[in-house]
Amino acid sequence: MKSPLNAKFVKHSVAAALALCLAGTAQSSSHREAPFITQQPKVDSTDFYMFRSYETGREGYVTLIANYNPLQDAYGGPNYFSMDPNALYEIHVDNNGDAVEDITFQFQFSNTLANDGKGITLPINGKNVAVPLKNIGPVSSADSSALNFAESYSVNMVTGDRRTGSVASVNNSSQGGGTSFSKPYDNIGAKTFSVQGYGDYAKTFIHEAHFASCPQGSQSGRIFVGQRKDSFAVNLGEVFDLVNTNPLGPVDGEKNIINDKNITTFAVEVPIACLTGGTTDVIAAWTSASMPQVRVLDPTPTFSKPALQGGAWTQVSRLGMPLVNEVVIGLPDKDRFNASEPKDDGQFATYVTNPTLPALLKVLFGVRAPTVANRPDLVAAFLTGLNGVNANGSVAEMQRLNVTIAATAKDQQKNLGVAVGDNAGFPNGRRPGDDVVDAALRVSMGLLCHLNLGLCTPEDAPDGALAYTDGALQNAAQFDAVFPYLTTPVAGSSN
């Protein structure tokens, strides 16, 4: 890794780049953010959340939420949006401030056809013929006999290095202590889920989990993997049409163009002591997805093996703080960033020391960018953490959470988080209702210089007190108050 100074510049670029959103990078986070990942949507990580659980009675937990498989059209049949059984999905946690994972939660999927892999058949002219659909009748948690396709997954908890550390299976306490977890069928429509309703159906897939690797007394939590309504809001078309909108509001004046899209959510509720090891107040985390290094297309593919794959796991997706790869990293290096790890972030220093986005913003809007050298305000907010809030000694692109700061109840959350006095919110972790784009825009343009934090002065950021916004409203009222917090996915059809 390069020197800490160069690494700091990396996030300087990250935060400065977030200013490109100036009017609208809204919360498009990491949807289709790099050329190669657009070819593999099932392993494209879109958003990552980490926060003290604010569900009543769950104050002793941290919730980690990783979203994958972006921009799902609810009507996208007949195959819908299963996860890739050849991929490795991971959530990494650093609890000693060295930007290297100390705990990793690994998810792997198994997709199976009914009828012992032969699929449901119907008698046609004296022959049993396999149907082309994933279900042929209503589906409920009590009766899935009409379901032609099922997904399950296993979860491992790795202590130490993600590939060479100590591996322990996470057990499913709600299904007899085994290592298999079931995933709900996607919300394909009201007729399929007419018996139970999709919301009640999906709740039955919230599993009690036992983390055997956690310290004694802190081993129980919950896991849910399944389709949810996309938790981001963004005026996507106008944002990438040279930020074709008003950067000064109103905060709800633009259309959330992805309001009818779904994603696949991996939600894990873990005891605080399990993540900290009892030795730190601040944890950092990020997500990734990896694929086998080699793929050979099979000229005679089957349902279970459409291609031959093997070799070492190779990372193809990465996400910590929102918007980094989407609007900071230059186009030639976006795929390389997705393959990288936080400890090596110094390699992207050029995008900070020679930022292109402030120049673009000046051309588009005539804004006055902050003049303070090396942007200590952005380094603190986005790269090292804020002193007294969530600094942990590391210099890398990760989310950081101070677990000693109590959760704010849903109805009291402020969607600009730390910037407006709600220290339980972004950039101290990230909650679903945090308007990370508005917060990042304002900090990028120098808001912290106006808050007497000793990082810089108001004179260093003449436009830093302006209420920059992407125009797509995001707040806690749009989400549930209980695990997994993200809401019921949009249905493929209605009554």
pLDDT given for residue 176 in this prediction = 82
263: β partners: 228
pLDDT, average across residues 246-252: 83
Q: Which domain holds residue 30?
A: 4-478
Is residue 250 reached through a cis peptide bond, with omega within 30 degrees of 0 on the bond before it? Answer: yes
Does residue 492 fall inside a structural domain? Answer: no
Whether residue 1 is predicted with pLDDT greater than 50 in this model: the reply is no
pLDDT digit string, tens, across residues 21-54: 332 333 345 666 666 777 889 999 999 999 999 9
Whether residue 481 is predicted with pLDDT greater than 90 in this model: the reply is yes
- Specify the DSSP class assigned to residue 23: T
pLDDT digit string, tens, across residues 364-378: 778 788 888 888 887
Which stretch of 70-79, 125-134, 181-190, 252-261 has the lowest confidence by average pLDDT? 252-261
Evaluate the CA torsion angle 360, 361, 366, 369 in order and state its sign: negative
Does residue 243 fall inside a structural domain? Answer: yes
pLDDT given for residue 249 in this prediction = 77
pLDDT digit string, tens, across residues 92-123: 999 999 999 999 999 999 999 999 999 999 99
Whether residue 253 is predicted with pLDDT greater than 80 in this model: the reply is yes
296: β partners: 308
Does residue 322 fall inside a structural domain? Answer: yes
442 versus 54: which is more confidently predicted?
Answer: 54
Does residue 432 fall inside a structural domain? Answer: yes
pLDDT given for residue 75 in this prediction = 94
Does residue 127 fall inside a structural domain? Answer: yes
pLDDT, average across residues 244-253: 82
Q: Report the percent of the chain where pLDDT is more than 90.
A: 63
pLDDT digit string, tens, across residues 283-296: 999 999 999 999 99
Q: How many residues belong to the chain?
A: 495
User: Band of the pLDDT at 270, cuts 50, 70, 90?
Assistant: very high
Tally the domains of the chain: 1
251 versus 236: which is more confidently predicted?
Answer: 251
pLDDT given for residue 423 in this prediction = 96
pLDDT given for residue 327 in this prediction = 67
DSSP letters for 70-113? EEEETT-TTT--PPPTT-EEEEEEE-SSSSS-SEEEEEEEEEEE
pLDDT given for residue 439 in this prediction = 85
Which stretch of 254-268, 410-424, 436-450 has the lowest confidence by average pLDDT? 436-450
Does residue 136 fall inside a structural domain? Answer: yes
pLDDT given for residue 160 in this prediction = 97
Does residue 369 fall inside a structural domain? Answer: yes
Using DSSP's 3-state secondary structure scheme, residue 350 falls into helix
Q: For helices 4-18 and 357-365, what crossing angle results, to 10°?
A: 30
Does residue 326 fall inside a structural domain? Answer: yes
